[in-house]
């Protein structure tokens, strides 16, 4: 085997072994810490939502947009939005 081929194989094995460990982040959890006010999705910051789903299928979620709190509720395809600014 040529030295170039050996070097390429060694590099591929090194990258293949280290890439999954680097992709998982700290402690291998892959989740955004609870103390953060946002989540990371596709490399972008997205505000966290507090979504609660009841047994009948209805749901409620609350997000912050600046100084305002936006509450969205839904059931059977119907979505209502309430905006409360302080």
| Banded model confidence at residue 82, pLDDT cuts 50, 70, 90 | very high
**Residue 37 pLDDT greater than 90, yes or no:** no
Convert the pLDDT of each residue in 2-11 to its tens digit.
Answer: 777 676 677 6
Buried b / exposed e over 9-19, threshold 16 CB at 10 Å, is: eeeeeeeeeee
- Tell me what the mean pLDDT of segment 52-66 comes to: 88
Q: Provide CB contacts within 8 A for 65, sequence distance 6+.
A: 47
């Amino acid at each position: 085997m040529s030295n170039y081929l050996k070097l390429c194989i060694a590099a591929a094995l090194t990258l293949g072994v280290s890439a999954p460990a680097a992709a998982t982040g700290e402690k291998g959890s892959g989740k955004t810490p609870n103390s953060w006010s946002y989540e990371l999705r596709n490399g972008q910051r997205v505000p966290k939502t507090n979504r609660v789903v009841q047994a009948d299928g209805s749901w409620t979620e609350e997000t912050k947009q600046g100084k305002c709190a936006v509450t969205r509720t839904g059931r059977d395809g119907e979505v209502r939005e309430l905006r409360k600014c302080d």
